[in-house]
Amino acid sequence: MRAWAVVALLAAAAALLAGSSYRARLEQARLELLKIDVQRDAIAAMSLTLDSNLMGAISLLGLIEPDIKQDSTESIAANQPKMSALLENVARSQQIQGLFVVGRDGLVKSSWDDSGKPSTGIDVRFRPYYKEAMAGRNNIYAAVSLARGDHALYFAAPVYAGMARRGDPVGVVVARTGMAKLERLLARSGQAAILLSPQGVVFASSRREWRGMLAGEVTPARVAGIRAVRQFGKLFEEKEPRPLPLKLAPGMVQGEGRHFAVASASVDWHDPSGAWQLVVLEDLGQSVPPGSGVPAAAMAAAVVLLLGAAGLRTVRSQAAQQRAHRELERVAQEQALRAERKMQLAQVALQMQQASDRHARLTAFLDQCHLLFGAMQGSIYAAVADGLVLTASYASTAPPARLALGEGLLGQCALEREARIVDASGAGAAWSIRSGLGGASPGALLLAPVQLQGRLLGAVELALLATPDAAAYEQFLSALDLLAINMTE
């Protein structure tokens, strides 16, 4: 029966491994398809913007239309009937919300707007789309209007004095459109899709609640930089952007209690701040449901069971029984050792629980470290705003009352948040353990940060006569969890 139990366990393990491996391969396949889809969508986004008929139309205006050239370079009256008719005809044919001509001085010369409020006379010389176009580059500038608060795209193309793209531009033709086409592109896949600005702002998304959020960590420096460009209108003037509930790193990510595949592609609109990103997230819980690996798991389990049955029929000798017996003894010893360690940890918890206050609990912890690990001296520091402060010690002569993060081995350990064993056997007089009867050099130092849910609470240092084995070191790390809980109370 025991042998069959082992075979059954092996079959279960094989099933689990095969099922999870098969599911991982399916998820990876979905990610590869998603990468192809997002590249296709990025090309589609470029065809709707920088490579669109609209961009071609305004680029052609700046190249061949004499009235546009004259309006850009000469001091003539704005919005003359012929110019207004030209702008309106082009705007209506291309479904443009607003179309205007900017002179070399950066002032809007003539304009047409479907709202009836022309932009004539506005100074746009500091706008990135004007600067890029005057440098000879067609570009797209996505922004939130300061006046209207709506999300818009600005298409800008240079105006040349001649009929060829030679020399410096003499003006700029600018068209403003809404986001309807791009939003339909984001929504067409049915997945969560995001148009991400170079600053990490979610400018548009198929998930409306994500729009205006910030990908990554929200820091004062990032927020100040976003406000400085004035690209997002009044969106962040009175409040900071909220962070996205999940990371957008390509690959597999966890967020909102779900497992997502993430793929992204660059959308280069010649924005001076950098390239925009089209990011698509696929909920793998929907495309690769939990039961996807069941067939592979069942097949693996069946194969292991058949092989196990065949093996059991052949392994019936005394030698095999003795090996099985020794294996069982080893497992029992490991279980007994784990049980003993649990009892030791329970004893530590009990001693700390029975202490009257926080200092007594920390002192009880150091006492137990002496009994469990042979610690001859020890100290516990608590994390404060400017470093570490001594809160408890055991048999220590004069430990420092305060340490800065990064100061000494313990301060560096707290800064790096990584436990370590320091071999002190060859350190000479660098470290010493002293008592009324004499002194000795420690064999090793145990240094460890005290953390709870990623928050640094303090650090602990123990001096031992000998280097601890792996089991003792593991037990010490487990005891740190008890110390962290008691340091928060």
Among 172-186, 225-239, 433-447, the minimum mean pLDDT is found in: 433-447
Distance of CA 301 to the CA centre of its chain: 37
Cα 297 to Cα 22: distance, rounded to the nearest angstrom: 8
Q: What is the pLDDT of residues 144-159, one digit of tens each?
A: 876 677 899 999 999 9
Confidence of residue 438 (pLDDT cuts 50, 70, 90): very low
CB 233 within 8 A of CB 146: yes
Q: Quickly count: other Cβ atoms within 10 Å of residue 36's Cβ.
A: 11
Cα 173 to Cα 485: distance, rounded to the nearest angstrom: 65
Strands (E), 206-328: 251-255, 258-267, 276-283
Backbone φ and ψ for 355, nearest 5 degrees, come out as -70, 150
CA count, 13 A, side-chain hemisphere, 136: 6
Confidence of residue 437 (pLDDT cuts 50, 70, 90): very low
103, β-bridge pairs: 171
Residue 89 has pLDDT above 60, yes or no: yes
Confidence of residue 488 (pLDDT cuts 50, 70, 90): confident
pLDDT of residue 489: 65
CB 34 within 8 A of CB 278: no
Residue 79 has pLDDT above 50, yes or no: yes
Name residue, tokens 């398809």.
33
**Predicted TM-score (pTM) above 0.75:** no
Residue 2 has pLDDT above 90, yes or no: no
Residue 292 has pLDDT above 70, yes or no: yes
CB 424 within 8 A of CB 441: yes
Residue 209 has pLDDT above 50, yes or no: yes
pLDDT of residue 429: 44
Cα 359 to Cα 380: distance, rounded to the nearest angstrom: 10
Whose CA is closest to 177, among 156, 153, 195?
Answer: 153
Cα 203 to Cα 373: distance, rounded to the nearest angstrom: 57
Spatial CB neighbours of 146, under 8 Å, sequence gap ≥ 6: 230, 233, 234
DSSP result, 304-357: HHHHHHHHHHH--SHHHHHHHHHHHHHHHHHHHHHHHHHHHHHHHHHHHHTSSS
- The pairing of strands 420-423 and 455-464 is unpaired
Cα 303 to Cα 236: distance, rounded to the nearest angstrom: 60
